[in-house]
Amino acid sequence: MAVEVIEVFTPRGRQLFNNFPRHIYGDLHRSPSFPALEQASPHFDRLFSRVEAQPFLAVRKGYVVGRIAACVNHAIYDQHSGCFGYFESINYTAAAAALIKAAAAWLAARGRSRITGPVDLTPHERIGLLAGGYRGYHHPGMPYNPPYYVNLIEQIGLKKEITLCAYHYDLRQPAPEKLVRVAARAARNKGMKLRSVDFNNLSGEGEVFSRIHNGSMDEIWGFAALSPAEGAAIWRKLKGNYDPALILVAEVDGEPAGLCLTLCPLRLKCFSSPASCFNARLAVLSILPQYRRKGLEAALLLESARRARTRGVTTLELSLVAENNIMMNRIIQSLPGTKKSREYKVYRQDIDKIINCRE
């Protein structure tokens, strides 16, 4: 029997969409639910204020066998590409192909000629398929999927767009002397200050996040500009779940200059998963161009590591780092006790090739 793909509009459909990952993972992993996108909804998240999206379900013999969401994100400058995300499927190529084709057709109707993914509506959420390094603790918000997902996507004909890497840094190792010297040089600047994020001032910190992100990350693959309101929405997601003392803002002469976003679950949240008490994730290290090569990168990295150690963290995951981000990869690889631990792949294809291909 053929696979039927249906658009999700009703509350019952959204429930089926959000519950389907349990068929893949059981209780071992929780895949994120599709967010409320209607601005009239009390649950509306400003992070998605410039997003159009449509979820789909794949059905075979009366049972849901997969899900996907097609997305146009107007914060991304590339006006030719759309995204697919929230991809989950049984190990059945016909189901995965039908889902990708439905997402591609929806994007084509909105003037898009390429499809990229997985991207969960915005690059500030989950991005990529886990393609290596399945064992061990996986941080919340990081992609996780069965190994066969990579084969499904590649069998359909999607091509790799980029590889994103995760590194594990053993905090029990001493920091390189060169890095310590560079950080000390930055500290001699009396106008330089490192402070923790202030979760009691989401509006002001949203402005800071937006300013640093937009000014420092615009050449990084997958860049999507952040408005102050979207920056505040990210802080709102983190508040109460992660230790604010490990989220550092660098200021020079009172002006925002850099950001080091280290995510360490609060102690009260981690008892159900003891591994999370000893791991933290460094998700963002960004410096505005005018402040680069002055030691701020080293100062933020070392201070983040120092604070993490005082909280009992032994391993720092540095992710996601694009394979073509040469400078950041060199900095990370210079740290003793650091090894590449996982790879994530993002795929792309011309939409006409997907729509016109024969199943």
Give the gyration radius of the chain's Cα atoms: 21
Q: Check pLDDT > 60 for residue 147.
A: yes
pLDDT at position 331, please? 84
**Averaged pLDDT of the chain:** 93
Q: Check pLDDT > 60 for residue 276.
A: no
Are the beta carbons of 160 and 345 closer than 8 angstroms? yes
The pLDDT of 65-71, averaged and rounded, is 98
- Phi and psi at 165, nearest 5°, equal -115, 155
The 10 Å Cβ neighbour count of residue 314 is: 14
pLDDT at position 356, please? 85
Q: Which of 255-259, 276-280, 312-316 has the highest mean pLDDT?
A: 255-259
Q: For residue 277, name the pLDDT band (cuts at 50, 70, 90).
A: low
Residues in a beta bridge with 68? 56
The pLDDT of 156-183, averaged and rounded, is 94
The pLDDT of 5-9, averaged and rounded, is 97
Q: Which DSSP letter does residue 272 get?
A: T
pLDDT at position 124, please? 94
- Phi and psi at 26, nearest 5°, equal 60, -130
- Which domains are assigned to the chain? 4-162+348-356 (3.40.630.30), 173-313 (3.40.630.30)
pLDDT at position 270, please? 46
Q: For residue 140, name the pLDDT band (cuts at 50, 70, 90).
A: confident
Please tell me the least confidently modeled range out of 9-13, 36-40, 113-117, 283-287: 36-40
Record the pTM. 0.93
Residues in a beta bridge with 115? 82, 349
Are the beta carbons of 344 and 167 closer than 8 angstroms? no
Nearest residue to 216 (alpha-carbon basis) of 283, 286, 285:
286
What's the pLDDT tens digit per position in 79-114? 899 999 999 999 999 999 999 999 999 999 999 999
The pLDDT of 269-297, averaged and rounded, is 80
pLDDT at position 27, please? 85
What's the pLDDT tens digit per position in 231-262? 999 999 999 999 999 999 999 999 999 999 99
